[in-house]
Amino acid sequence: MIDSVILRDSLELVQRVFRDVRPELMAVFGKIEYTRKSDRSKVTAWDLKIENDLQAELQANFPGLGFEGEETGSSGSKDRYWLVDPIDGTSSFIRGLRYCTNMAALVDDGQVTAAVIYDFVHDEMYTAIKGEGAFKDGVRLAVATQRPADDAVLFSFSRDLFSKLREALSSIHMNLLLPIGAAGHSYCMLAEGKIDGIVALQSTAKKHDNAPGMLIAEEAGAVVLSYSEEVGVDRNEFIIATPVVADAIEKSGLI
């Protein structure tokens, strides 16, 4: 198990690095060139800069922790490492849309134990430590617990199944939408009580897309319905929602 001092100190370091780069990101927000990776997704020089800077800082201060970045891959320990998505929502960043964040999750023996999502456009920091709750700029977060299931709005990460899922949820009076933006922004909206759930079935989202936000949402009170045998950081087929919505979906047997 990771030492609690290392956990908290490295969590603070990740937040500092994300905050420090904000002025540079905002100076080029909506006016930056990009290239495409082999999978045709977009990447900018800032994705690489943030990832490289964070890796260097963590290695210098916490050499026992490994690192796994979306852009540069993994190095160091595979048991205890920071999993990083330097700019989640690169397309939004390029276009000057607000739906982009910096994200990271600390993984210890396959389990996510701490997480950061930094909404650098609005300078809002979301954090969580497993078992200690989720926070936005130090204020505790909670999912919506009083909203009835038949007034629920969920976001779908499942584009190929979207029509079928929307029809199924509509039959129990829930609304399913395809969101603008990226995973981190959606998870923060769930943790804050602005939406009621996220459907990630046959999704293209990877662990760096899901891990930080899932911990923050769960620590804010969200419940995960798993549809695969994967556990911990590798969970990839699931619905995460408020307890009321998760219970209604599970009892319906529709999904």
pLDDT 10s digits, 136-172: 999 999 999 999 999 999 999 999 999 999 999 999 9
* Pairing, β 80-88 against β 66-69: parallel
pTM of the model: 0.96
- pLDDT score of 32 more than 80: yes
- pLDDT score of 242 more than 80: yes
Please give the Cα distance from 114 to 91 (Å, whole number): 26
pLDDT digits (tens, 9 = 90+) for 81-128: 999 999 999 999 999 999 999 999 999 999 999 999 999 999 999 999
Average pLDDT over residues 174-190: 94
23-37, 123-137, 233-247, range with the lowest pLDDT = 23-37
Tokens of 86: 């330097």
- pLDDT score of 37 more than 90: no
Average pLDDT over residues 52-64: 97
**pLDDT given for residue 77 in this prediction:** 96
* Pairing, β 124-129 against β 111-119: antiparallel
| 102 within 8 A of 54, measured Cβ to Cβ | no
* Domains along the chain with CATH numbers: 4-138 (3.30.540.10), 149-252 (3.40.190.80)
The residue among 241, 204, 236, 249 whose CA lies nearest residue 220 is 241
- pLDDT score of 222 more than 90: yes
Please give the Cα distance from 70 to 26 (Å, whole number): 21
183 residue type, one letter: A
**pLDDT given for residue 254 in this prediction:** 85
| 213 within 8 A of 188, measured Cβ to Cβ | yes
Please give the Cα distance from 41 to 111 (Å, whole number): 28
**pLDDT given for residue 41 in this prediction:** 81
Percent of the chain with pLDDT over 70: 100
- pLDDT score of 39 more than 90: no
Ramachandran class of 89: left when φ > 0, alpha when ψ lies in -120 to 50, beta otherwise: left
Average pLDDT over residues 215-242: 96
The residue among 61, 58, 11 whose CA lies nearest residue 69 is 58
